[in-house]
Amino acid sequence: MRFRNSLAIGLAVLTLGGCTSTIAGTAAPVPGQGPVITKAEPCTLLSEEHANALGVTYPGAERPAKPEQKVPAVCRFRELEGVRKASSLEVALSKDLSVNEYMNGAQSGEKFGIGGFTWTRYATILGPTYCSLSTELTPDSFVEISSESPDHTEGNACDLAKAAAPAVASKLPGGEQNPQITAPPGQKPAEPGGPLVSTDPCAMLKPEQTAQLRLAPTGEPMKSTSDPNQVGCEWADTDGEKGEKALDLWFYPATAMDETPTLISQGEPQDFESGGRKWKIYTESGSKLCAAGIAITATSTVAIIAGNLDDPAKACEVIKAAVPLLNTNLPPSS
């Protein structure tokens, strides 16, 4: 994520054209609801339970306030590792700086009533793919929640900030308690699911089929060391140390096809239809390796990789011969 440098925060706010009507709901302190803010500790505004639900790391990393630069204390909760479409989250808390001072008189933009507070979006020098939502607690204190578009588009810049707002609000005086927190799509790793969870990769090619591919009759089970959900099977080649390479079949029960490392590491995909099923073949010019993949569900993928160590022009031959055979044994796509 390319988050702002804290030294530049005071210069980050620009004027937004137009102002929507204010949404009622700015909270006043209610006995028994949330702590009274006496010290700026932004990392306390997100619990471990809520961080897990939002798909960000816990605990967050705090940057102290810089009063001379009118910069509040900020806590950054990074996105989880291995999730390509995730965003980091930042929560800022001021105890002696007004929101107007911090925003430097910028005109407010869109407003959201969330968790008992009115959250106002302000434009920043980081552009429309960055989202800053703020709410005033007292004349001299406020909270800001910030997120950034994971794919650098405008439409989803505020998704994580808005998803986090109920959690943050529940930690503030007068905030609504016991919020139901849901992460934006793609923010958290997908849970293993679909038919691949209960399917044996080594049963996907029968001995009579491997004979057609000039491979060993039975495969050896494989398990990824980096992804506990990824399992596979390898059928050894039968033509010595050169020529055709062994064929590896991998099941990804919690990974979308466009995020499958076995595939995206092999180059640009090309459509390959076989037996009414839509596969994609991945290879680069001159490469001795070739890969192919098919989506079983939106978040589960089958990938195969093979090649030819002597002749790159033949790298995809075994793959293209194996796909029709696999089609007869693999679970249907949904």
Torsion of Cα atoms, 22 then 25 then 28 then 32, to 10°: -160
Count the Cβ atoms, other than its own, within 10 Å of residue 59.
12
Is the bond leading into 195 cis (omega within 30 degrees of zero)?
no
Q: Mean pLDDT across the stretch 169-186?
A: 94
pLDDT tens digits, one per residue of 69-86: 888 999 999 998 877 788
pLDDT at 223 over 80: yes
Q: Which CATH number applies to 42-171: 3.30.43, 3.30.300, 3.40.1000, 1.10.10?
A: 3.40.1000
Output the pLDDT for position 4. 43
Among 115, 46, 100, which Cα is nearest to 75's? 46
pLDDT tens digits, one per residue of 98-135: 888 888 866 678 999 999 999 999 988 888 999 999 99
Q: Is the pTM of this model over 0.85?
A: no
Q: How does DSSP assign 116-135, residue by residue?
A: TEEEEEEEETT-TTEEEEEE
pLDDT tens digits, one per residue of 10-64: 434 433 333 332 333 344 444 344 445 556 799 999 999 999 999 999 999 999 9
pLDDT at 283 over 70: yes
pLDDT at 322 over 80: yes
Output the pLDDT for position 16. 38
Alpha helices, DSSP H only, in the chain?
Answer: 48-54, 99-103, 159-169, 207-212, 261-264, 317-327
Q: Mean pLDDT across the stretch 141-170?
A: 94
Output the pLDDT for position 106. 67
| 142 vs 243 pLDDT, higher one | 142
> pLDDT class for 241, splitting at 50, 70, 90?
confident
Most confident of 85-89, 201-205, 297-301: 201-205
> pLDDT class for 67, splitting at 50, 70, 90?
confident
Query: What's the number of CA atoms in the CB half-sphere (13 Å) around residue 28?
Result: 1
Output the pLDDT for position 36. 52
Query: Rounded CA gap, 154 and 112, in Å?
Result: 17
Sorted by sequence, the CB contacts under 8 Å of residue 327 that are 6+ apart come out as 274, 275, 277
Among 138, 144, 106, which Cα is nearest to 28's? 138
pLDDT at 315 over 60: yes
Q: Are 175 and 119 in contact (CB under 8 A)?
A: no
3-state secondary structure of 49: helix
pLDDT at 181 over 90: yes
